[in-house]
Structure 1
Amino acid sequence: MIRFIKPLALLSLLLAAALFGFFYAWVCSTMWGLDAADPRVAIEAMQAMNASVRNAVFAPAFFGTSIALLVTTMVLFKDDQHPSAYWFTAATLLVALLGVALTMAVNVPMNEALALVAVPEDIDAAQAIWDDYSPKWQLWNQVRTVATGVAVLCIGIGMLNLRPLG
C-alpha cells in the first residue's frame, strides 16, 4: 500500500484541481458573461450548459475526487503519516461537504428548476427570472469554489509533509 501513496496523492491533487478549476471558471468568466448577455440568451445558455455537464469527462472529477481523497487519507493513516493524513482529511471534508454535497443540495436543484422554465419572449420577464437565479447561484458557486481551492492547498501541504520513500 505504501508504494501507492504518491500516485494516490497525485491523483487526488489532479481531480481536486480539476473540480476547483471547473467551479472557478464559472466565477471569473461564465457567469459574468451570462449576466452581461440578453437574459433570454443567458437562460437558454445556462439550461444548455447544465444539461451538458452530466458527462463522462466531468464525472470523475465531481464524483471521484472525494473517493480518491478518502482512499489517500486512509493509506496515509495506515502508513502512520499523520501530518499528511490530517491535511488530506481536511481536503476530503472540504470537497465532500462544500464541493459535492453543496452542489447536490443547492446548485443542482436550482439548475433543475431553471431547466423547467420556458424562456419568455418578453425581455423584462426573462430578466426577472435571471435576476432571481443568477445571484443566488453565484453565491453558492463561490462557496464551493473557495472550498475546493482550499482543498487543493491542503493537498499540496499534505504532499509537502509526505515522508520520503525509503
Structure 2
Amino acid sequence: MIFSGAIFGFFYAWVCSTMWGLDTLDPRTAIEAMNTMNGSVRNAVFAPAFFGTPFVAGFASWSLWRAGCRSAARWFAASGIVYALFGLLLTMLVNVPMNEQLALVEVPRSREQAQPIWEDYSANWQIWNQIRTAASGVALALGAMGLTRLGPDSTRLMA
C-alpha cells in the first residue's frame, strides 16, 4: 500500500501542479526544465516505488493466498496487475519514449519556434499521465479493498 500510495502521489503531483506550472513558463524554459526533471527522476529513491509496486502487491497477494485470505489476495493481485499494465508498462511504452524524444530536441532560440514543440509535447504527455495517474489511484484503491477484506481475525497473520 505504501508503494502504491507513493507512486500515485508522484503521478498526481505532475497532474495538478508540475505540468500546469511548466505550461506557464516560456516554452524554451519548460523544455529545459522537463528534460532536467526527467533526467533526475532516475534515482534510487524513485525506483522502488515505480518498479517495485507490482512485485510488492504480488507478494502480498501470494502471502495472503497461502494464509487462506483468498478475498484479500484477489484484491492485491488486481492492484498489482492494474499498476503493472497501466502505470509501469504505460509509462515505459508511452511517457518514457516521449521524454526521450523531447531530450533530443535542440531548444529553439525563439519563443515562437519553441511554443508548438512544447504545446504538442505537453498536451499529449498530460493525457497519458492522467491515465497512468488514474490507474495508479485505482491500484491504490484495490489494495485498500484488500486490506478491508482481512477483517478482525487477520491479526493472526501478524503474529
Identity over aligned pairs, percent: 55
Aligned length: 154
Q: Distance in 2 between matches of 1:105 and 1:59?
A: 17
1:91 and 2:75 equivalent? no
What's the secondary structure of 2:97's corresponding residue? helix
What's the secondary structure of 1:97's corresponding residue? helix
Superposed, 1:55-94 pairs within 5 Å as 55-94=43-82
Instruction: Find the counterpart in structure 2 of residue 153 from structure 1.
Output: 141
- Which among 137, 155, 159 is matched to residue 165 of structure 1? 155
Instruction: Find the counterpart in structure 2 of residue 31 from structure 1.
Output: 19
TM-score (norm 1): 0.90
Structure 2 residues not aligned, in runs of 5+? none
Instruction: Find the counterpart in structure 1 of residue 96 from structure 2.
Output: 108
Q: Distance in 2 between matches of 1:154 and 1:40?
A: 40
Structure 1 residues not aligned, in runs of 5+? 1-12
Q: Distance in 2 between matches of 1:68 and 1:34?
A: 33
TM-score (norm 2): 0.94
Q: Distance in 1 between matches of 2:14 and 2:147?
A: 28
Of 139-148 and 77-86, deviating more is 77-86
What's the secondary structure of 2:155's corresponding residue? coil
Runs of 4+ in 1 over 4 A off after TM superposition: none
